[in-house]
């Protein structure tokens, strides 16, 4: 970026209109001063365009909030749509999943995967296999029993491909029966 340009060469550093009735001349604008203004303007525009390019934004002469948008992206205050690196996809069947592609502030692409379903296990424990394997890790699995009367389910340590569920009744181990679950991973 170019240095700050010098102010116009008048006593008060301001521009003045001339007044023919008094013989007062207006401010004389030199080619050197105008070249400084032009150079500073071009330099500033290049600096701003570099910020937009780093944020992967294309300059648009019809928008006047692009620098703010670029700074928000670079500083991590991204909107949901700006973080997405591709469309959401998946399969919302009875046991389904959605893949939400995201991009972090460093430009690294990462998928957030949400899987869900219902299962029936007519035993006190059993395995549930996800519709798709989590490529990196399982972050969390939550299950809820679809029955009243002191019946519930718990989850053991989930893997990238499945989890173990245990059924309980108020007096101890019982059938897991029908339950719903949600798993989040990447």
d(C-alpha 153, C-alpha 39), whole Å: 70
Higher pLDDT, 98 or 169: 98
Overall average pLDDT of the 78-98 stretch: 65
pLDDT > 80? residue 173? no
pLDDT > 90? residue 137? yes
pLDDT, position 176: 63
Least confident of 59-68, 71-80, 162-171: 71-80
Which residues have CB under 8 Å from 147's CB, separation 6+? 177, 178
Instruction: Fill in the DSSP letter of residue 24.
Output: B
pLDDT band at 88 (very low <50, low <70, confident <90, very high): low
Q: Which two tokens stand for residue 99?
A: 């893949």
pLDDT, position 78: 52
Q: pLDDT, tens digit, for every residue of 13-70?
A: 899 999 999 999 999 999 998 998 898 889 889 999 999 999 899 999 998 888 888 8
Q: pLDDT, tens digit, for every residue of 95-133?
A: 888 888 887 777 788 889 999 998 888 888 889 999 999
d(C-alpha 174, C-alpha 101), whole Å: 39
The H-assigned helical ranges of 55-181 are 66-74, 80-83
Distances (CA, A) of 72 to 1, 54, 77, 100, 104: 22, 12, 5, 21, 12
pLDDT > 60? residue 82? no
Higher pLDDT, 18 or 170: 18
User: Residue 179: which H helix or E strand, with range?
Assistant: strand 177-185
**Sequence ranges of the domains in the chain:** 1-77, 82-185
Cβ distance 174 to 124 under 8 Å? yes
| CATH number for region 82-185 | 2.60.40.3940
Q: How many residues does the chain have?
A: 186
User: Residue 37: which H helix or E strand, with range?
Assistant: helix 31-54
Q: Which residues pair with 140 in a beta bridge?
A: 184
pLDDT, position 96: 86
Pairing of strands 172-173, 125-129: unpaired
Closest by CA position to 82, among listed 70, 98, 99, 67:
70
pLDDT > 90? residue 171? no
pLDDT, position 185: 94
pLDDT, position 108: 81
pLDDT > 80? residue 149? no
pLDDT band at 134 (very low <50, low <70, confident <90, very high): very high
């Amino acid at each position: 970026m170019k240095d700050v340009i010098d102010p116009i060469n008048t006593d008060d550093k301001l521009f003045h209109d001339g007044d023919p009735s008094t013989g007062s001349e207006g401010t004389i604008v030199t080619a050197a001063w105008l070249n400084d203004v032009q150079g500073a303007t071009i330099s500033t525009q290049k600096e701003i365009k570099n910020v937009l390019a780093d944020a992967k934004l294309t300059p648009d002469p019809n928008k006047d909030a692009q620098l703010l948008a670029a700074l928000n992206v670079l500083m991590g205050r991204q909107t949901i749509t700006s973080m997405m690196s591709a469309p959401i996809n998946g399969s919302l069947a009875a046991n389904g999943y959605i893949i939400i592609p995201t991009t972090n502030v460093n430009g690294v692409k990462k998928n957030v995967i949400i899987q869900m379903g219902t299962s029936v296990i007519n035993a006190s424990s059993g395995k549930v296999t996800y519709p798709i394997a989590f490529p990196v890790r399982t972050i969390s699995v939550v299950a809820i029993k679809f029955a009243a009367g002191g019946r519930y389910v718990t989850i053991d340590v989930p893997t990238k491909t499945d989890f173990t569920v245990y059924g309980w009744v108020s007096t101890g181990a019982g059938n897991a029966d029908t339950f719903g679950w949600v798993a989040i991973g990447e």
